[in-house]
Chains A and B, each alone.
Chain A
């Protein structure tokens, strides 16, 4: 017992000593799933943060202070996320990158807000900005941006006259379907049918035959590839002369296997994958990432988080202070078209990232994709 107390005291004094010695350092937190189901994403977020921090430190640091990264593993769980938030606040970070999932991000938001700590996350759930915390801004794009993009593609690019929107009953798919229908109508598009199918039913010929009689130009499916591939195959079998457009969850190699020959010419709409980002920052940072960690980021999300960090750094330098309120105001109001790795970085007053970039792929029979837009 005494021994424990002693080591505790020693450890405490060590912490105090180190914080005294390191008076000219500043701390940035990473809250990410380092272990568990999304470990590869979480680790990649931490790696990307380290890459950018090391680059900054080598160039003299942030306003002359060396940046120290403090990581907390939230395992993508809400309870752990709440603990992480307290821990990182106690560590004295001024900004936190993460977390990866919307759920873990939301669980930590209030703690950061109360302690005036900046937070940026890639979570796509629309609810993340509903609390209107000035401390939070999103570095990816919300789900609703996908429907806006899709509607624009239908109405203004392809000029479809007769649009069919199908989804399954899951909250993700039905939500995307509903918002796509709403966005399309808002742009003056003509949605002639909005239907829901039961995922896993396998037989979609009945609803497709019904749709055929309506003579659609395009069938949009906002569900998952397991059903999307079959819907496409059965559409071809019934000789329905309409384009097929799938939402992001259709982007899977099994879609092509299920659709068979009918996969050719299918259009899928998704977030761009890192390797096809066209921006000069993307080329530079992705090459540096690969050189250091010997692999590519597993998805776009660690890259958007890196952009969140870069925006925070930009905010500190432009306001010449570590006052989080000032940094937040700068990022929201003054910063325009900051050159991000994932494209121009603009944050709206409520913390939403605007100017979403999506990619339209043409699918080929052999499973390869051709970027059309």
Chain B
């Protein structure tokens, strides 16, 4: 039983990271019908930016709460800026072009960011300082949860709930949903579509940035091509949940993390990925729109 609960916590932790990243994919897709392949690399970029700010400003000693908040905010702002820049340079000029052109542009942007990281920080592994958060952990009858895991789980949950409220209960959220349904009609209603898209990129990049920082703090080893790994998994999570649906991305991320952990734990570590992709195919055959893709019908 404790092994099962431990796998549950392992899976939920990874799953929340996937979910945070998946939100960026799904929001952009919801509004622009574009798979932003550069999003995963933006996540890797955030981990590097966060590391640089940590080491530059505070040394590698344990940080106070205020400092951590500052680092998170600064990283989120920098990455949001890059996200907006990405939209301006790589996607906006192609908004009326065929869909395929934008996808190729996204792949190109992904390579640009990945190689940019390599040129700035070098091809060798960079390592996050240990104990950004206290190394405390709790043992509940054999089930261990660390402080970092708790922060990841709690903060991810708070962020996802806030995003849900933002999209569904605020005026801006209504405008975003309207743009997602029909850009031209939204324009006629006096909605500034360019501004909405910018906001989508800011929010998506900020969530990705926080995901990237968590990845850096939890796993500590950063490589310039790590964005591919997390981007791919998050993209799968977004598809499982139903791409374009925000609760779908959250559900998809958590499910993917849990599924991976349970397969590794109970069936075979070697086959975990194979089974995960079989799951993806089965879900898409049974429900081509993904788990929450159609029912909620709220494409954002």
Contacts and interface: CB of A to CB of B under 8 A. Distances in A.
Question: A and B: partners?
Answer: yes
B223 interface: yes
A213 interface: yes
Interface in A162-215: 195-198, 200-203, 205-207, 209-210, 212-213
A213 B1 CA distance: 10
Given A196-B269, A237-B137, A260-B130, A202 B219 contact: yes
Interface of A: 195-198, 200-203, 205-207, 209-210, 212-213, 226, 229-230, 233, 237-239, 254, 257-258, 260-261
15 contacts: A195-B269, A196-B269, A196-B270, A200-B226, A202-B215, A202-B219, A203-B219, A206-B10, A206-B264, A209-B261, A210-B269, A213-B3, A257-B127, A258-B220, A258-B221
A207 B261 CA distance: 8
Nearest to B3: A213
A206 B13 CA distance: 11
B112 to A, nearest CB: 21
Contacts of A229: 221
B237 to A, nearest CB: 14
Nearest to B130: A260
Chain B interface size, as a band, is: 20 to 34
A207 B144 contact: no
Interface of B: 3, 6-7, 10-11, 13-14, 125, 127, 130-131, 135, 137, 139, 144, 146, 215, 219-221, 223, 226, 229, 260-261, 264-266, 269-270, 272-273
Nearest to B262: A206
Contacts of B223: 200, 226
Nearest to B146: A237
Contacts of A201: 229
B130 A238 contact: no
B220 A260 contact: yes
A230 B269 contact: no
Nearest to A205: B10
A210 B131 contact: no
Nearest to B221: A258
A233 B265 CA distance: 19
Contact of A261 (B127, B130, B221): B130
B139 A239 contact: yes
Contacts of A197: 269
A230 B261 contact: no
Contacts of A261: 130-131, 135
Contact of B10 (A202, A209, A233, A260): A209
A198 B266 CA distance: 17
Nearest to A210: B265
Contacts of B11: 206
Given A195-B269, A230-B219, A257-B127, A206 B260 contact: yes
Contacts of B139: 239
Nearest to B268: A195
B269 A254 contact: no
A200 B3 contact: no
A198 B228 CA distance: 14
Given A258-B127, A260-B130, A206 B272 contact: yes
Contacts of B3: 209-210, 212-213
Nearest to A208: B10
Contact of B125 (A206, A213, A226): A226
A205 B226 CA distance: 18
A206 B258 CA distance: 10
Q: Which of A206, A213, A260 has the most CB of B within 10 A?
A: A206
B269 A260 contact: no
B6 A212 contact: yes
Given A209-B3, A212-B6, A202 B261 contact: no
Contacts of A260: 130-131, 220
A279 B226 CA distance: 45
A207 B221 contact: no
A292 to B, nearest CB: 33
Contacts of A205: 10, 13-14, 261
Contact of B269 (A206, A213, A239, A258): A206
A320 B127 CA distance: 58
A201 B233 CA distance: 11
A61 B220 CA distance: 58
Given A239-B139, A258-B125, 14 more contacts: A195-B269, A196-B270, A198-B273, A202-B229, A205-B14, A206-B11, A206-B269, A207-B264, A209-B7, A209-B265, A213-B3, A230-B219, A254-B127, A258-B127
A214 to B, nearest CB: 10
